[in-house]
Amino acid sequence: MTDPADFDIEQSSRAIAGGELSPAELTAACFERIEELESTIKAFVTVDDQGARAQALRLTEELSRSGPRSPLHGIPVGIKDLVDVEGLPTTASSRVLEGGEVASSDAPVVAALRAAGAVIAGKTNTQEFAYGVVSAPTRNPWDTDRIPGGSSGGTAAAIAAGMTLGGIGTDTAGSIRIPASLCGVCGLKPRPDVISVEGIIPLSPSLDACGPLARTVADLRVLFEAIGGGPLSPPDPRRLRIAVPESSEVAGAIPEVARAVEVAVATLADAGLGRVTVDLQSFAAWDRPRSIPLMIEALEVHRSSGWYPQRADRYSDETLASLRYAERFTAEQVEANREPLAALVADLRAVFDRADVLALPTTQTTAPTVDETTARDDGHRTPVVRSLTRLCGPVNVSRLAAVSVPCGFDDLGLPIGLQLVGRDEASLLAVAELYQSATDWHTRRPGSKQHTV
């Protein structure tokens, strides 16, 4: 019999509604996977075995009385450790908040998931305060010598490994999409203000977004609607236009990634989408302009919270260096940055005068090794951070939505992500679902035989 921990949400929901699987059985299967793999993957900060099993038992009993609450009835999910879950500590995976109080209430996104019948398996690991892309000590289920990406790395790794069927992440410069890409799952970054960020520790308030990760786009839709993004009215994707940069050098991806994305775009064009080419500035031009507001806002968050500099000795070296680096910026530098950043935003948003969706790689490379993430350039960030956020960060600054879906594997069998960017979530999910209806990359699991593009 197939292990229920390998099901996606849609499959599990059908089995639960049909009486073939109970919430208690599905939760038990996921916790068996956690017990088997957590010592290697390290996806969780807090595993709520007792609470989740009790919740699943109540949902099983409720099912026999009144049927499922929603397609999420009995579905185990992981919650990024920036997000409050009643009765569990919120630590932001940092010693700064170690030993702090447990959350007295659920964040609205968690409350919405509970109301829909989801089972909260625990708090998943994040890069400290979401400020980076490594998510140590979490490892990538496809190759445990490699990072899962960040900052929602624990959520993505847990889903890829079958520990949960879905989860919640946050995204300030790619923190949902990057780990989705590197771990071979799907992730949606909604537009800002679509999903509540109340009860979530901020990184950069003007750029932060909260969204779902899951194995399929159909599952993203279910989660997104449950946490406040729906109901959606998707358009016919075959009536939409997909844009690609005129030159592949704009994205700067390695050849294997660029090739996989080009094949994915061709698949969508064959399915009926109109294809247009657009002239964009190199995404490398965004690196400094988009980073300055993020760093300034992050510094203010940590100062106003009383964490920095009062608890400077408790931060990781990387986060502390970033906060100290942000102190160097003068008011004149911040003001001088506004005009070039506004020009870049206008350039990117102009794409959608001609097209509905922009296709890009999610990341320029596949998952780096843990060792590759230790290099430093200017003393406060690694080159890996710049590379992995380069194609994602501009989306947040431009207040657009984006989804990442698996679109192939490199020669080492590591997942590659296709990023679709647009002005609304309904169109993106419709195009992404059309893509998944024509391909099977999203069905692959770590440890199974893979095929390169």
Phi, psi values for residue 434, rounded to 5°: -60, -45
3-state SS, one letter per residue, for the chain: CCCHHHCCHHHHHHHHHCCCCCHHHHHHHHHHHHHHHHHHHCCEEEECHHHHHHHHHHHHHHHHHHCCCCCCCCCEEEEECCECCCCCECCCCCHHHCCCCECCCCCHHHHHHHHHCCEEEEEECCCHHHCCCCCCCCCECCECCECCCCCCHHHHHHHHCCCCCEEEEEECCCCCHHHHHHHCCEEEECCCCCCCCCCECCCCCCCCEEEEEECCHHHHHHHHHHHHHCCCCCCCHHHCEEEEECCHHHCCCCHHHHHHHHHHHHHHHHCCCEEEEECCCCHHHHHHHHHHHHHHHHHHHHHHCCCCCCCHHHCCHHHHHHHHHHCCCCHHHHHHHHHHHHHHHHHHHHHHHCCCEEEEECCCCCCCECHHHHCCCCCCCCHHHHHHHCCCHHHHHCCCEEEEEEEEECCCCCEEEEEEEECCHHHHHHHHHHHHHHCCHHHCCCCCCCCCC
Strand-pairing partners, residue 247, are: none
| Residues in CB range of 444: below 8 A, 6 or more apart | 184, 406, 409, 415, 450
- Report the catalytic residues: 80, 151, 175
Radius of gyration of the chain (CA): 21
| Distance separating alpha carbons of residues 170 and 209, to the nearest angstrom | 6
For 76, the token pair is 């185990």
Q: In terms of DSSP bridges, do strands 186-189 and 166-171 run parallel, antiparallel, or are they unpaired?
A: unpaired
What distance in Å separates the CA atoms of residue 156 and residue 393, rounded to the nearest whole number?
A: 18
